[in-house]
Amino acid sequence: MTQIKTVAGQDLRDMFSAATTWLEKSSSEIDALNVFPVPDGDTGTNMMLTMRSTMEEAFRAPDNSAAGVADAMAKGALLGARGNSGVILSQVWRGLAEGLAGKESITTADFASALEQAATTAYKGVSNPVEGTMLTVMRAVASAARDQVDSGNEDIISLLEVVVEAARDSVANTPLLLKVLREAGVVDAGGQGIYTLFEGALRYLRGEVELMRLRKPQIIVSEIPHTTPLPQTGVIDEVPYGYCTEFMLKGEKIDTDVIIKRLEHKGESLIVVGDESAVRIHIHTLDPGNILHWATKLGTMHQVSVRNMDEQHQDFLEMQKERVPTADTAVITVVSGDGLSDIFASLGATAVIPGGQTMNPSTKDILQAVESAPSDKIIILPNNKNIILAAEQVQSLTQKQVAVVPSTTIPQGVVALLAFDYEADFKTNTRIMENAISTVKSIEITRSVRSTKVNGLKIKRKQPIGLLDGKLVVAGISDIDVLNKLLDKMEMDKAEIVTIYHGEDVETAEAEQISAGITEKYPRIQVEVVRGGQPHYSYIISVE
Amino acid sequence: MTVKIVTDTLSDITGDLAKDLDITVVPLYVRFGDEIFRDRVEINSEEFYRRLVYEDILPSTTQPTPNDFLVVYEELAKETDEILVIVVSSKLSGTYQSATQAKDMLKAKCRINIVDSLSVAMGMGLIVIAAVNAVKNGANLDEATQFTRKALSRSRLIAYFDTLKYLAKGGRIGKAQGLLGSMLSVKPILTVKDGEMSPLTRVRSLNSGFDYLYNVVANAGKIESLAVEHATTPGDADKLVERFSSIFPKDNIYRSIISPVIGTYAGPNALAISYLEAE
């Protein structure tokens, strides 16, 4: 059996490069190990993207010593860190690099101390470490390596075999440590990612490159059927808008079903409402001429309107550019959905980074926005709990003064941005905005991505579910049902304003209906409906 | 002879208060299309806001003519040889120009000092009231002028607007421009800074507006005088006064109606508070 006593810098790079490819193969399955059945669990994707950036930098390393490669990996991980799991992973590589400082190559003893340093640094990077997560797995890895060295093992491969075994046991044990995992019947996704990385590294050192091409990493305990990967949100600037085409069709015996059938694949946001004598049609299409031509055969056309939405959006962006900067502090925010993005810009956000659920921007993305903002003082609104850590990393990477106001929902981001005081200094503004967060209640309505049990609720796959301030509290038969159940749980007599941001798949008419329902139930409350255009969440609602 | 004090209608000092203070208030002009009215003489506040809301024509305001000031100066020169004129911020109106030109036109032997208040509404009104008190305590023209100039930095005006609609329609609004274009309905809170309208923050409801205005005063330190103004909703102003009564003697709170110049931008339902920090 082959033995390896030392690992050189090049080997270190190659083994984790192979491990990254190995991780990539199961990233969507790791994504599906999400505790919350909401589409915010892209732990696998986040770790994979973080690893890509880690290894890209490793290949650019100026020297090929183990220390040089590890340093480069740490740097790449820091810049590419996405989501909480990515940030913790970047701490692992930072710790490893610290542990390997000055080493030309690595012995088992070097490796064990570096892994210990990696685990310690990972724990330190989290303000409130939780057991049953990737932190626990990382500590198991470090402690197994230490035991091997203490018992005189000088072979890296056999050391790694024990380490991987320990990681596997630790991952399998995570549901025992963390109740939410137990309830959901899954192992910790981040822990699974760590296990997969070390397993991949081991397989590479064993020379199983060919085998790795054919096989896939194994998910440790998974009684839950895997979900299909969620669609990724596009970068906002690249979304083609086409033409917003609207008209009224008048005639006799118009069949709306026929119209829907004919038009549903001709564009997006199709709305067809009316009766057999008059129908209103709304569609976003790239070819309005074709649709209008066809419609003339069904009856007479009225109130025809075709607007170029790219132009509209461009005009909007131009208008925003012309706005005079009014304060020396810039606010940068992370938002997904064209409507929400425009709303944040209209409220004075200097930059809007596309991202959110299922698409966490990397530390580098946020850093770029910070560096290009026309101000030396920056406040970041992450609007998502998985982006807060990545945003906080930016503070150490820039000369600029950066504060993160930890908004975890869109409504929190909106109230924080609104509370911005044009005359207050940087610190005061950060405090004012932080305080504002608690003045709003956030409702999010989405579909469960799989069957599960959370907080005593039995939830079926694709069932409408409702979150209140990030906590899953109700499941129902429809969006409206979920909303009503949520509202019943809230102190609505104290509320003044309800703002409904409807998602990309929701028709304005339906949102208006929900608005009317709230007005009827709570006549004192002012209700506002705005198109958010966000993916995955049919409704995001703020109650103030 | 005692110093006589002159101001303009944008101080929001009118009627009985002006009489009690023994000051002369020169009206600006409010114009709806071809119709021109002397502010609070030929059009009262109720009528102004009614037309603002129900008519398509956006009103504009025009400074008093130099002659308007000259007439006042000539009249006052009969009984005094010292006049202190305190006018609306020169960045919001040309009133300062007219007052200055009239001074050069005056033939009577009378010294006139003109102070640009760099403020408006009761933010300026409270400065005028402080100046009147200084004169009552025996200040001569130069002392009163110096006192007034120093008082400018102690004055603060905060206005709550119910809507951005009128702010958007109005003309030059300085840095408040940054508040426009909001895609959510928000209620801006503004102040006057360096003589110009300047944004402070935004709230989403009247009650949050109340909270904000209350907190400003509660955190202001020791204050000498306080004023509460409304555009069309005296009931809301009453509620504010009631809240302030726990931190400031209720009977000493001045009440007034937001002048048409601010009203043109603020629209109906606006509220404003002004205070003068203690020396």
Residue A129 scores a pLDDT above 70 = yes
Domain A7-214 is in which class? Answer: mainly alpha
State the pLDDT at residue A37: 56
A222 pLDDT tier (thresholds 50, 70, 90):
very low
- What's the rounded Cα separation, in Å, for the pair A190 and A174? 10
CATH number of the domain located at residue range(s) A236-312 in this protein? 3.30.70
pLDDT at A40: 56
Give the E-state strand segments of chain B in sequence order: 4-8, 24-26, 29-32, 35-38, 60-62, 82-87, 111-116, 155-160, 187-193, 196-203, 223-230, 253-257, 271-277
pTM over 0.90, yes/no: no
Nearest CA to B66 among B114, B98, B27? B98
pLDDT reported for residue A160: 96
Judged against a pLDDT cut of 70, whether residue A9 lies above it is answered with yes
Q: Which residues of chain B have pLDDT under 70?
A: 170-178, 180-181
Q: What is the pLDDT of residues A181-201, one digit of tens each?
A: 877 778 899 999 999 999 999
pLDDT confidence band for A236 (50 / 70 / 90): very low
Indicate the CATH number of B154-277 among 3.30.1180.10, 3.10.450.50, 3.40.47.10, 3.40.50.2300.
3.30.1180.10
**Chain A neighbors of B204, CB-CB under 8 A:** 415, 418, 496-497, 544
pLDDT at A38: 58
Name A278's bridge partners: A250
Question: From residue A352, how far is each of A179, A346, A358 by CA, in Å?
Answer: 36, 11, 17
How is A171-185 classified by DSSP, letter by letter?
HHHHHHH-HHHHHHT
Q: May I ask the CATH class of domain A327-437?
A: alpha beta
Contacts of A497 in chain B (CB under 8 A): 204-205
Chain B residue nearest residue A346, CA to CA: B182
pLDDT, one tens digit per residue, over A154-166 is 999 999 999 999 9
pLDDT at A233: 26
**What does the alpha-carbon distance between residue B76 and residue B71 come to, in Å, rounded to a whole number?**
9
User: What fold, for B4-153?
Assistant: Rossmann fold (3.40.50)
Tell me what pLDDT residue A35 has. 66
Confidence of residue A228 (pLDDT cuts 50, 70, 90): very low
pLDDT of residue A274: 64
> Looking at CA atoms only, how far is residue B233 from chain A in angstroms?
18
So what's the pLDDT on residue B88? 94
Q: What percentage of chain A carries pLDDT values higher than 90?
A: 55
B25-to-A126, B22, B47, B140, B197 alpha-carbon distances in Å: 65, 10, 20, 20, 23
B175 and A419 in contact by Cβ < 8 A? no
What's the rounded Cα separation, in Å, for the pair A259 and A256?
Answer: 5
Q: Which residues contact A335 (CB under 8 A, 6 or more apart)?
A: A341, A344, A352, A353, A354, A355, A356, A383, A410, A413
Q: What is the pLDDT of residue A450?
A: 84
How confident is the model at residue A438, as a pLDDT? Answer: 93
Which residue in chain A has the smallest CA separation from B176? Answer: A326
CATH number of A441-543: 3.30.1180
Residue with the bigger pLDDT between A220 and B83: it is B83
d(CA A237, CA A341): 10
CB contact under 8 A, A326 and B183: no
Q: How many CB atoms lie within 10 A of CB B234?
A: 13
- In this prediction, residue A202 has a pLDDT band, given cuts at 50, 70 and 90, of very high
Q: Does A331 touch chain B (CB under 8 A)?
A: no
State which of A68-82, A231-245, B217-231 shows the largest mean pLDDT: B217-231
pLDDT per residue as tens digits for the range A344-400: 988 889 889 988 777 889 999 899 999 888 889 999 999 999 999 999 999 999 999
- Selected residue with higher pLDDT from B75 and A29: B75
- Taking the domains of chain A in order of start, what are their residue ranges? 7-214, 236-312, 327-437, 441-543
ipTM value: 0.84
A227 pLDDT tier (thresholds 50, 70, 90): very low
Nearest Cβ partner for A346 among B181, B198, B204: B181
Domain layout of chain B by residue ranges: 4-153, 154-277
Q: Reply yes or no on whether the pLDDT at A224 is more than 50.
A: no
> Average model confidence (pLDDT) for chain A?
86
The whole-angstrom distance between A415's CA and the closest CA on chain B is 8
* Nearest CB to B178; choose among A326, A499, A530: A326
Q: What is the pLDDT of residues A258-276, one digit of tens each?
A: 888 888 788 776 666 667 7
